[in-house]
């Protein structure tokens, strides 16, 4: 970046500055707005963009992706001692009983697609997409409380202060789009417990932090002009600021001023491009039917469609957070409703990306901070089976990948017969993150940032690329 600034300092004149909007100097300066041009992939990327679906609260993977007939068979029996004795569990305090998925039709698992991947009837739309999915069934986390585990999943570290995966991607690859941020986050429901840290930039320059696009109020903070400032007035104000900044640049010669001028141009363009982007009403009725979207509503479905629109426009990393999966109680009455909210839109997203030819370039990740126990958590001691839930579970849980560079129809890893721990091919959050970076063309061991005398990595000193999931 210093090189670039120096060049600017040498060559800029006011005339060049003022003519530079969107081209020439403008474009050069823009290169380091949302990420640096000089960094780039370490190897040929398999995917250019990522859409990361983070189910906040941790869905019950055992009832969705990891069918355990033995668990159903032993339903109601005390769990083996080694599941409980000496373990740290978030909520369960007395020796729990095993809890299988209900045997009723809505909860049954079905072998789907050509691959025959087994997933639950709770996700009927996703069942049609299994041949695009690589399912990792043995991911393990080091943290068992939500906030720390969300940070661990996204930043590779259970405490505050580290950059998130999206920030690392922006830092490593920059942004292909000059009009939009490299990293966009959207939230349905309340924010994750980790707060902005779940999409923060940690010690990386804050230009890499995820910019939240919102469905209520301004889609990007402070995007709308005050009442009474029309588009023409704003244009003239920006021109005037540019004029005066140009004069000052002539005087002091600081290239940051040139960059600032371009930021105002970009801001002005974003005032038009972002509302256009966020306005899904122009999409066809067929698309709305596919996703189950309704313009003007706040919903996960709308965010899925927006994610597609963002990726179409070259946004590097889109992260959707969806709150409401923390089913400590009544898991079997709560889960179907949550699944209905996300199943159709996620399948629609995969279908839509595929038919637009974008799925080859786009990696879709479905994950959560951890999974849920095969043991029942009984709600406040009332003891009615219908109210049982599942506690936080870090030993092994399911995550899936689809799209660019992913080998569809694959299942990696297997848990034991009760779904407690990995029985084959144990995987770890660091392995997942190494794989995601790999698909983006980044070597997780070489993507580093020097801070406090140490070269930090997303994967700390761990992580192996999950080759079995790669095409």
Three-class secondary structure assignment of 306-365: HHHHHHHCCCCEEEEEEECCCCCCCHHHHHHHHHHHHHHHHHHHHHHHHHCCCCCCEEEE
Point out which span in 64-72, 119-127, 168-176, 224-232 binds other proteins (CB under 8 A): 224-232
Question: Is 347:400 a contact under the CB 8 Å cutoff?
Answer: no
Of 77 and 227, the one with the shorter C-beta distance to other proteins is 227
Task: Verify binding: residue 33, other proteins, rule CB under 8 A.
Answer: yes
Q: Cβ of residue 265: shortest distance to other proteins, in angstroms? A: 8
Place of tokens 């279908």: 351
- Residues 190, 134: Cα–Cα separation, whole Å: 29
Cα angle 291, 110, 470 (rounded to 5 degrees) comes to 70
Exposed/middle/buried for residue 453 (C-beta within 10 Å: 0-12, 13-18, 19+): exposed
Task: Verify binding: residue 192, other proteins, rule CB under 8 A.
Answer: yes
Task: Verify binding: residue 387, other proteins, rule CB under 8 A.
Answer: no
Task: Verify binding: residue 220, other proteins, rule CB under 8 A.
Answer: yes
Question: Is 441:45 a contact under the CB 8 Å cutoff?
Answer: yes
- Residues 370, 140: Cα–Cα separation, whole Å: 7
Please count the residues of the chain. 471
Interacting residue with other proteins among 44, 105, 216, 281 (CB under 8 A): 216
Interacting residue with other proteins among 38, 225, 276, 424 (CB under 8 A): 225
Task: Verify binding: residue 6, other proteins, rule CB under 8 A.
Answer: yes
| Residues 77-136 contacting other proteins, CB under 8 A | 86-91, 93
Phi, psi for 111 (deg, rounded to 5) = -80, 130
User: Which residues have CB under 8 Å from 9's CB, separation 6+?
Assistant: 253, 254, 255
Binding-residue pattern over the window 133 to 172 for other proteins, x denoting contact by CB under 8 A: -------x-x-xxxxx----------xxx-----------
Of 217 and 357, the one with the shorter C-beta distance to other proteins is 217
Task: Verify binding: residue 38, other proteins, rule CB under 8 A.
Answer: no
- Residues 332, 373: Cα–Cα separation, whole Å: 14
Question: Is 317:182 a contact under the CB 8 Å cutoff?
Answer: yes
Of 357 and 453, the one with the shorter C-beta distance to other proteins is 453
Point out which span in 43-51, 202-210, 278-286, 287-295 binds other proteins (CB under 8 A): 202-210
| Residues 226-285 contacting other proteins, CB under 8 A | 226-230, 233-234, 236-237, 240-241, 243-245, 247-248, 251-254, 256-257, 259-261, 263-264, 266-268, 270-271
Point out which span in 100-108, 167-175, 215-223, 301-309 binds other proteins (CB under 8 A): 215-223
Of 394 and 410, the one with the shorter C-beta distance to other proteins is 394
Of 203 and 340, the one with the shorter C-beta distance to other proteins is 203
């Amino acid at each position: 970046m210093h090189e670039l600034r120096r060049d600017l300092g040498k060559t800029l004149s006011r005339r060049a500055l003022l003519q530079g909007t969107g081209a020439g100097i403008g474009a050069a300066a823009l290169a380091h707005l949302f990420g640096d041009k000089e960094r780039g992939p370490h190897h040929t990327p398999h995917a250019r963009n990522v859409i990361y679906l983070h189910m906040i609260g941790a869905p019950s993977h055992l009832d969705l992706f990891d069918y355990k007939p033995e668990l159903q068979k032993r339903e109601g029996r005390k769990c083996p001692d080694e599941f409980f004795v000496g373990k740290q569990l978030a909520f369960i305090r007395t020796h729990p009983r095993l809890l299988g998925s209900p045997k009723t039709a809505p909860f049954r698992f079905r072998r789907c697609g050509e691959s025959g991947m087994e997933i639950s009837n709770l996700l009927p739309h996703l069942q049609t997409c299994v041949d695009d999915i690589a399912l990792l069934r043995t991911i393990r986390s080091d943290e068992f409380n939500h906030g720390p585990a969300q940070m661990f999943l996204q930043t590779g570290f259970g405490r505050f202060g580290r950059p998130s995966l999206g920030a690392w991607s922006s830092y490593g690859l920059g942004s292909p789009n000059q009009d939009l941020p490299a990293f966009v986050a959207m939230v349905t429901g309340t924010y994750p417990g980790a707060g902005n840290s779940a999409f923060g930039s940690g010690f990386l320059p804050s230009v890499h932090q995820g910019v939240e696009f919102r469905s209520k109020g301004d889609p990007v903070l402070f995007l709308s002009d005050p009442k009474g400032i029309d588009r023409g007035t704003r244009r003239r104000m920006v021109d005037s600021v540019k004029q005066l900044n140009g004069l000052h640049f002539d005087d002091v010669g600081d290239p940051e001023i040139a960059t600032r001028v371009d930021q105002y141009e970009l801001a002005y363009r974003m005032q038009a491009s972002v509302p256009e982007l966020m306005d899904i009403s122009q999409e066809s009725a067929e698309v709305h039917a596919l996703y189950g979207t309704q313009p003007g509503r706040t919903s996960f479905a709308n965010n899925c469609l927006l994610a597609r629109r963002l990726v179409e426009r070259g946004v590097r990393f889109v992260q959707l957070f969806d709150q409401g999966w923390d089913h400590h109680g009544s898991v079997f009455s709560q889960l179907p409703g949550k699944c209905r909210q996300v199943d159709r839109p996620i399948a629609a997203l995969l279908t839509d990306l595929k038919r637009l030819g974008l799925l080859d370039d786009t990696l879709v990740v479905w994950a959560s901070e951890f999974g849920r126990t095969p043991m029942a958590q009984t709600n406040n001691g009332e003891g009615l089976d219908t109210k049982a839930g599942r506690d936080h579970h870090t030993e092994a849980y399911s995550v899936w990948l689809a799209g660019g560079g992913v080998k569809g129809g694959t299942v990696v890893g297997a848990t034991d017969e009760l779904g407690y721990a990995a029985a084959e091919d144990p995987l770890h959050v660091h392995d997942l993150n190494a794989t995601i970076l790999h698909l983006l063309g980044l070597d997780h061991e070489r993507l580093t940032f020097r801070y406090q005398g140490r070269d930090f990595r997303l994967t700390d000193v761990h992580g192996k690329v999950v080759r079995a999931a790669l095409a």
